[in-house]
Amino acid sequence: MLLDVQHLTTEFKTRHGPIQAVRDVSFCIEKGEILALVGESGSGKSVTSLSIMGLLSSNGRVSNGKIMFNGEDLLTKSDHALRKIRGNNISMIFQEPMTSLNPIFTVGDQILESIRLHTKLTKKEAQEKMLHLLDLVGIPNPAKRVKDYPHQLSGGMRQRIMIAIAMSCEPQLLIADEPTTALDVTIQAQILDLIYRMREQFNISVLLITHDLGVVAEAADRVAVMYCGRIVEEGTTRDILTRPCHPYTQGLLKSIPRLDDNSQRLYMIPGMVPPPEEVPDFCAFADRCERATEDCRKGLPPFVSLKDRRVRCVNVIAED
């Protein structure tokens, strides 16, 4: 087991008091596996990844749980120890490469900085590795492109640069936070294929954070669905996409436009996501669920274990 997140709870101080953004989240990732963390914006996906990386904002903290990486709890590590792990063992591709890359340095300088910071390579060796990485991620004419600034590159090229930086130290775990957001469909497919090839070539594990179920179908081995800071369903990609059990997962899949659907309107999950400060202590999806009963409001539903999956629902029905 490479990563084992156990009962993770992350909260933020606000003027209304502490608010939990991640609530008792548990999942694991095996070596060489791609796990997709799926959910709407605000469901806690990115906060989960930032908790793992130790990059929460000053008003955020992990209030409970363990983050076991290679058998060691990252939450017990000092800032100095975490800095050694970040980049070397765990790397992250952030959602928007234009804001993640420094606009006043060339992309070559930024890749070199990552390599020199985390390895003992000489400057010449680092430059050779940089050009090899750029070639690996599909950047044409790498020797010329290293002199470019971020604004001179397209969105897809900037995302490839971010992947090159993330892979510069050959990490064991790659966290990709919405890596295809704001890219056109063709470039999305290329970036997903690139991440998949990096997994195959370096045998790395990937935590893929996305709201796009098409991305999940393309790349992930397993899927964990989040709603209001909790995981509500987890299983193999095939099972989740073909036989979803939780009403929220079923609603997400029904909301995807289909070419063979002749209905006049797209399906929409009824109701609204409750604000973080108003998430109830029973099933947070109960007020939007068509199958909700009084039992759903008597307390937090426990996980129901099925073959190769778990579902947090008291009315589990697999949908064909």
State the pLDDT confidence band at 319, using cuts at 50, 70 and 90: low
What's the whole-number mean pLDDT along residues 240-259?
A: 89
State the pLDDT confidence band at 194, using cuts at 50, 70 and 90: confident
- Is pLDDT above 80 for 95? no
Question: Cα separation of 316 and 245, whole Å?
Answer: 6
Global pTM?
0.91
State the pLDDT confidence band at 224, using cuts at 50, 70 and 90: very high
pLDDT at 263: 67
Instruction: Name the percent of the chain lying above pLDDT 70.
Output: 97
Lowest mean pLDDT among 187-191, 263-267, 287-291: 263-267
- In single-letter form, the type of residue at position 84 comes to K
Most confident of 14-18, 68-72, 191-195: 68-72
Lowest mean pLDDT among 95-99, 185-189, 249-253, 294-298: 95-99
Tens of pLDDT, residue by residue over 119-134, are 888 889 999 999 999 9
- Is pLDDT above 90 for 6? yes
The dihedral of CA 283, 286, 290, 296: what is its sign? Answer: positive
Question: Cα separation of 118 and 87, whole Å?
Answer: 7
Q: What does the block give as tokens for 127?
A: 């430059």
pLDDT at 317: 66
DSSP string over the chain: --EEEEEEEEEE--TT--EEEEEEEEEEE-TT-EEEEE--TTSSHHHHHHHHHT---TTEEEEEEEEEETTEEGGGS-HHHHHHHHHHTEEEE-S-HHHHS-TTS-HHHHHHHHHHHHS---HHHHHHHHHHHHHHTT-SSHHHHTT--GGGS-HHHHHHHHHHHHTTT--SEEEEESTTTT--HHHHHHHHHHHHHHHHHH--EEEEEES-HHHHHHH-SEEEEEETTEEEEEEEHHHHHHS--SHHHHHHHHTS--TT---SS----SS-PPPGGG--SS-TTGGG-TT--GGGGSSPPPEEEETTEEEE-SS-----
Question: Cα separation of 295 and 207, whole Å?
Answer: 34
What's the whole-number mean pLDDT along residues 9-36?
A: 94
How does the average pLDDT of the chain come out, rounded? Answer: 90
